[in-house]
Chain A
């Protein structure tokens, strides 16, 4: 295990410093090669023909006329790729091209490879597809009511994909202890990643039978597995190279149909094949934020201490499984890590509907429940006559504790985050004190620094790093991680540079190439800095050890005296006695042979042992607190967020400037979700995506973006490399609830759903003026046949993390 502290406690030269990213200049000069920038000799261009109907049986697909068009080289249909795939082992429900059924408008049925894109487009018009329409299912309510037709022939029942129930502790006792019990209903609309780079990929099948796929993917390792399965090629004959992602946010985390289809076309034609999706197609790929309806019942004491929480979530999953089972559990997992919740029950249901599939977007399944929880806490504080910031501060989940649902919290800096924003924003002078139309709202959040468990069950490391040192002093770090703009390539260089005492720009970084780099599971769940950082640290420390031994022997200096800094290895007591870094490598190479080391990282075991305990555990949790200040126009309902103060508990910044960038970007994306971003559909039975364009899918421009004041809270976590925790996702979580809490402070109405568009705010203001409930939001939740809960005693009750035996469950029922 790495010591996590790098250079034996000596002053750091790289970690914590605002270096530019190792790839920053390439990105500012147009040199970075994204997937669609790749061109190979004799390359063909592919297009996918997509379904114009939301739900239908595919009776026939005839590509013969398309194949006769000059310039068309190959055409395939579902029959050419009969093996299903999917990101989760429990949801292998996708085909690259639909075989007997289409499940949403945009589901592909055929693919064309032609000499240019125009010809491929033209050929699509010549494909004849016969559909037999089925009843489309548009909403959670319709899915729950409609047993037949089923969108999929698997899942818990009817059109219910997943139905779960978990209970931790004696809920009756918890609610009986409460002085106040509140029940609230919330809705969080679905929205999408909208990366500026449209998905693109190039496949090449060489004469020796080896396939290479370059793709804008966040998860080359999972794409590798999906290709091996669907193409029936040995994995050792497939190479997946993730190109730098032009924005990911979770939207490039699934293996995609276009990746499988062009690989097949490359195999059939022996020529490279490229696909570049249109913006409209990116909306169909989706895998974005699930729309989630939520019901929350919370009991509290007079001082705001929570005695029990019962949380129900209803997810509209769209047409495929994707990450949905994990998403479902995530809507019930992280409620417990911010404020102490001694007893907790979660019921969640995910439905299939005939819409583009939902999946993981920044915060994966947690922004929705966080919104519900933080708005409800605001309501509770008001009802109890408490200050919402102080009430939160008084009941924080303790550090180094295990929650009722068996999540192990390590460092916990939320209290310091709240203090910072309260002070910075002048909260005490503003909250409930600003003139009508102006208001402030506070909310908090927490997120994983990497999922504690891998997507497919195995006991291997989650991240591996290989380091090669050459006698010229060159250092190459190789890792399967993928830079999606967050700076993961730079993190590898910074960590290795710190340990070896060299400049980060001396290092060659080779990443996300399944032929060259050890496996890293991918850029999701905010896992990369912590996991690859730890793996890089271990590899670098092993290399340093070899160099130390060789140099100590040569210089006759004690091993513990040797220090690595400024491209030198020297005796700290006699700094003139030393060698250059390159000489140190030469000495080590002479002594030990070629110098290469490896490092890997496996997260610690989770204390939860029950079914469903796999979602939520993490080596470390980040924390954020935010205050939003808004200006609400009561005549129009238009909300302007003027400023956000946000504090983020990062553990330790590897690079504070890049941390700031992630915080600011998260605030921005949270602001979009709070005010305007939504995936909406029109047509009662047609379920056409209303806005498959960037003009109509509203996202914040420079004119809507607010000012942000960021505070970084550093309290190193023992599990993080140098103490680092995540930042890419967590800071989004407090923004939507902080904004709607501020709207309430401004105009006295509750908007219990996001986006809080002007129509909704205005409707609530008008309702209030008419003496009706001063609220806009869902009024009821559908009836669901919840399964009997899996009951687990909490740690406080003496539980061991295992579910109680079935008999005990029945006896208690």
Chain B
């Protein structure tokens, strides 16, 4: 047990658009490397067993569970975390709609949902409700009942397509 901690590995990769060099114990997961060795605590953990989706990050643009990915496996690759979604303080449209529609209640699952949604919209700029549900099915949220999350993804998608979309009245006030 103690032996595994003896020697750290050094790797280089691109984190949120920046070249980084990190040293860590080789058994560490990407989740642990991000949170413990790089202070990127925006990535959360909910189970460390691949069950909840909370720790999702993008690896070369593809959503992966950072708790099931070894830190060593990202050498030379590109990792995007929630911290990398906004550029120069400007929020990604998904971050904006998640905030504006109450799609983040406690906010703990939010980074994972945001990144999965980002991946979805990059592949499919106009997903239907069922496609959104399918794409988000690996992420658990205990607060929202998912509905505000779907609505936030739909609103962001519309805006990213260049439409001047506003939330539906029922989304914010309920049905008459």
Contacts and interface: CB of A to CB of B under 8 A. Distances in A.
Nearest to B43: A30
A695 B81 contact: no
Contacts of A279: 46-49, 51
B128 interface: no
Contacts of B174: 656, 659-660, 663, 710-712
Nearest to B97: A28
A694 B144 contact: no
Interface in A662-705: 663-669, 693-695, 699, 701-703, 705
A267 to B, nearest CB: 25
A523 to B, nearest CB: 11
A33 B41 contact: yes
A30 B143 contact: no
Contacts of A711: 174-176
Interface stretch (A52-60, A242-250, A402-410, A545-553): A242-250
Contacts of A29: 42, 82-83, 85-86, 91, 95
A31 B85 CA distance: 12
Interface stretch (A16-24, A434-442, A776-784): A16-24
B51 A695 contact: yes
B171 A27 contact: no
B42 A664 contact: no
Nearest to B129: A707
Contact of B104 (A27, A193, A424, A701): A27
A34 interface: yes
Contacts of B139: 702
Q: Quick one: which of B114, B136, B144 has the most chain A CB within 10 A?
A: B144
Given A279-B47, A665-B143, A660 B102 contact: yes
Interface in B4-60: 5, 25, 35, 39-49, 51-52, 54
A506 interface: no
Contact of A30 (B41, B45, B140, B146): B41
Contacts, number: 200
Nearest to B41: A37
A484 interface: yes
Nearest to B106: A485
A111 to B, nearest CB: 20
A657 interface: yes
Contact of A702 (B47, B54, B133, B170): B133
Given A196-B108, A665-B105, A18 B45 contact: no
Given A24-B102, A703-B137, A657 B171 contact: yes
Contacts of B39: 39
Nearest to A710: B174
A485 to B, nearest CB: 3
B102 A694 contact: no
Interface in B66-90: 81-83, 85-86
Interface in A31-76: 31-34, 36-37, 39, 70
B142 A249 contact: yes
Nearest to B138: A701
B42 A484 contact: no
A196 B49 contact: no
A118 interface: yes
Given A28-B110, A37-B41, A196 B52 contact: yes
A665 B1 CA distance: 43
A430 B12 CA distance: 62
Contacts of B146: 668, 702, 705
Given A246-B108, A424-B175, A28 B114 contact: yes
Contact of B99 (A27, A248, A487, A658): A27
B87 to A, nearest CB: 11
A550 B110 CA distance: 46
Contact of A28 (B25, B91, B132): B91
Nearest to B52: A694
B144 A668 contact: yes
Interface residues of A, number: 66
B109 interface: yes
B162 interface: no
Interface string B121-137: 00000000000111011
A30 B109 contact: no
A25 B91 contact: yes
Given A693-B51, A695-B49, A703-B133, A28 B44 contact: no
A39 B2 CA distance: 23
Given A122-B1, A703-B137, A198 B46 contact: yes
A622 to B, nearest CB: 15
A122 B91 contact: no
A27 B102 contact: no
A693 B49 contact: yes
A194 B109 CA distance: 12
B147 A664 contact: yes
Given A28-B104, A29-B82, A279-B48, A196 B98 contact: no
Contacts of B107: 23-24, 26-28, 32, 244, 246, 485
Contacts of A658: 102
B145 A708 contact: yes
Contacts of A657: 101-102, 171-173
A196 B102 contact: no
Given A25-B91, A118-B5, A668-B145, A661 B173 contact: no
Nearest to B149: A702
A118 B42 CA distance: 22
Contacts of B145: 664-669, 705, 708
A28 B96 CA distance: 8
B17 to A, nearest CB: 15
A708 B147 contact: yes
A197 interface: yes
A772 B5 CA distance: 64
A26 B140 CA distance: 20
A248 B8 CA distance: 37
Interface of B: 1-2, 5, 25, 35, 39-49, 51-52, 54, 81-83, 85-86, 91, 95-96, 98-102, 104-111, 114, 132-134, 136-148, 150, 170-176
14 contacts: A24-B99, A27-B99, A27-B106, A28-B110, A70-B2, A247-B106, A279-B47, A485-B106, A657-B173, A660-B174, A668-B146, A702-B137, A702-B150, A708-B145
7 interchain residue pairs of minimum CB distance = A30-B42, A27-B107, A485-B106, A246-B108, A668-B145, A24-B99, A485-B105
Interface of A: 18, 20-21, 23-34, 36-37, 39, 70, 118, 122, 193-198, 244-249, 278-279, 424, 484-487, 656-661, 663-669, 693-695, 699, 701-703, 705, 708-712
Given A246-B106, A694-B46, A695-B51, 5 more contacts: A118-B25, A196-B142, A247-B143, A663-B174, A694-B140
